[in-house]
């Protein structure tokens, strides 16, 4: 299962390795209304957070200390962001055994589908023949009902963020020789109907802002991730 998850994530990231800007950054499933989730429990799956450094050769090198700090900052910021949402997000507790594997499988599937949406939906020129009309019609498959049964929730929020910061050597290569892989800052958040698997709302950007290694940057990142989340409450002032 871990190998499957790793393969899905590695393959999906190939889709967002383009420097081009997407013409769209958010999508809503046709027919979906905010009233559908009024007073509904939304389970928050543990956000996937990955932070590291681009080497001189452009190779991504994970930094455990950066990732751990970013996870803590995101957890804290999501709690603060609750005041801007009309629904209460219920974090999914730690899973074990088969339940843990099932959750990991669907988190990886969401990452793959979200990247496909970013590449094939938000980049208009890349739309598949079935997407030419522009309808936002994406799904994780009906078997997500197992997640609804396990969590007792009809809806789930998935969050993924990945940041590749340039090392000194990488910056030097790009400045002096004009070559080298640029920094990468991907983020997306998606609301899924767990009974049907339909992606109801997705906000995604391959060039997100905010340095996730500090509190101020994470506050900006979470605001971007949850921008226009269905039922968001406008802040005063």
Lowest mean pLDDT among 25-39, 156-170, 187-201: 156-170
Query: How many domains is the chain partitioned into structurally?
Result: 1
Alpha helices in 43-139 (DSSP H): 64-81, 97-117
Q: Band the pLDDT of 236: cuts 50, 70, 90.
A: low
Q: Band the pLDDT of 59: cuts 50, 70, 90.
A: confident
Q: Is residue 18 part of a domain?
A: no
Q: Is residue 133 part of a domain?
A: yes
Whether the model pTM is above 0.85: no
- Between CA 69 and CA 16 the distance in angstroms is 25
Residue 87 per-residue DSSP state: S
The answer to whether the CB of 191 falls within 8 A of the CB of 157 is yes
Burial group, residue 149, by CB count within 10 angstroms (0-12, 13-18, 19+): exposed
pLDDT single digits (tens) 199-228 = 999 999 888 999 999 999 999 999 999 999
Q: Is residue 54 part of a domain?
A: yes
Q: Is residue 168 part of a domain?
A: yes
Q: How many CB atoms lie within 10 A of CB 124?
A: 13
- In this predicted structure, the answer to whether residue 148 has a pLDDT above a threshold of 80 is yes
The answer to whether the CB of 85 falls within 8 A of the CB of 37 is no
Q: Is residue 73 part of a domain?
A: yes
Query: Which range of residues forms the domain containing residue 199?
Result: 2-12+24-225
Q: Is residue 19 part of a domain?
A: no
pLDDT single digits (tens) 89-143 = 999 988 899 999 999 999 999 999 999 998 888 866 556 666 555 689 999 999 9
Alpha helices in the chain (DSSP H): 2-13, 64-81, 97-117, 145-151, 168-172, 215-225
Q: Band the pLDDT of 154: cuts 50, 70, 90.
A: very high
């Amino acid at each position: 299962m871990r190998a499957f998850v790793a393969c899905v994530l590695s393959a999906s990231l190939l889709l967002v390795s383009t420097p081009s800007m997407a013409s769209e950054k958010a999508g809503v499933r046709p027919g979906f209304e905010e009233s559908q989730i009024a007073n509904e429990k939304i389970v928050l799956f543990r956000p996937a957070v990955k932070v590291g450094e681009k080497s001189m050769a452009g190779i991504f090198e994970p930094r455990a200390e950066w990732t751990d700090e970013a996870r803590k900052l995101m957890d804290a910021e999501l709690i603060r962001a609750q005041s801007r949402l009309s629904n209460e997000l219920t974090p999914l507790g730690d899973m074990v055994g088969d339940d843990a594997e099932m959750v990991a499988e669907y988190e990886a599937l969401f990452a793959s589908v979200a990247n496909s949406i970013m590449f094939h939906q938000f980049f208009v020129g890349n739309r598949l023949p079935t997407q030419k009309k522009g309808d936002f019609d994406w799904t994780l498959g009906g078997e997500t009902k197992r997640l609804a049964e396990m969590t007792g929730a009809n809806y789930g929020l998935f969050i993924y963020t990945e940041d590749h910061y340039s090392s000194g050597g990488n910056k030097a290569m790009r400045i002096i020789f004009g070559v080298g892989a640029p920094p990468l800052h991907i983020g997306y958040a998606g609301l899924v109907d767990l009974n049907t698997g339909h992606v109801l709302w997705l906000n995604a950007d391959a060039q997100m802002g905010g340095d996730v290694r500090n509190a101020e940057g994470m506050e900006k990142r979470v605001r971007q991730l949850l921008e226009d989340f269905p039922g968001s409450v406008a802040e005063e002032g």
